[in-house]
Amino acid sequence: MTKITTCEVDTALDLITGKWKHSILLLLINGESLRFSELKRALPKISQKILTAQLRDLEEQEVIVRTVYPEVPPRVDYQLSEYGKTLIPVLEAMNEWGIRHAEKMRTR
């Protein structure tokens, strides 16, 4: 077994943490490709500024792909990159743990 190191875990955490990033990722996992406005609608409480910032972060890490269509009004869509898909097992592990944890907290 490879030893788990703080540093490598940090790297993965950076991509998932923040109030919104993992929600964005999950939408893109489940919904294929989504426009800016669709993400905004799916996360009604996020502000445009924050949504933009988070998307830019994810794009910079090459986890999502941003496609601009030269139309008016503008159209931009976001999808998980092939690379981003490698995050799915990580989110799955967290999801499974979360389900068990919720159950545990419910029955105590």
83 binds, among DNA, a copy of itself, none (CB under 5 to 8 A by kind): a copy of itself
Which residue among 47, 86, 93, 97 contacts DNA (CB under 7 A)? Answer: 47
Distance CA 47, CA 13 (A): 22
Q: How buried is 78 (Cβ within 10 angstroms: 0-12 exposed, 13-18 middle, 19+ buried)?
A: buried
| 59, 81 contact by CB (below 8 A) | no
Q: Pattern of binders to a copy of itself over 45-84, x per CB under 8 A?
A: ----------------xx--------------------x-
Sole residue written with tokens 């993400």: 39
CB of 45 or CB of 106, closer to DNA: 45
What does the binding site for a copy of itself look like in residue numbers (CB under 8 A)?
A: 1-13, 15-17, 22-23, 26, 29-30, 61-62, 83, 86-102, 104
What does the binding site for DNA look like in residue numbers (CB under 7 A)?
A: 18-20, 35-37, 40, 45-50, 52, 54-55, 66, 72-77
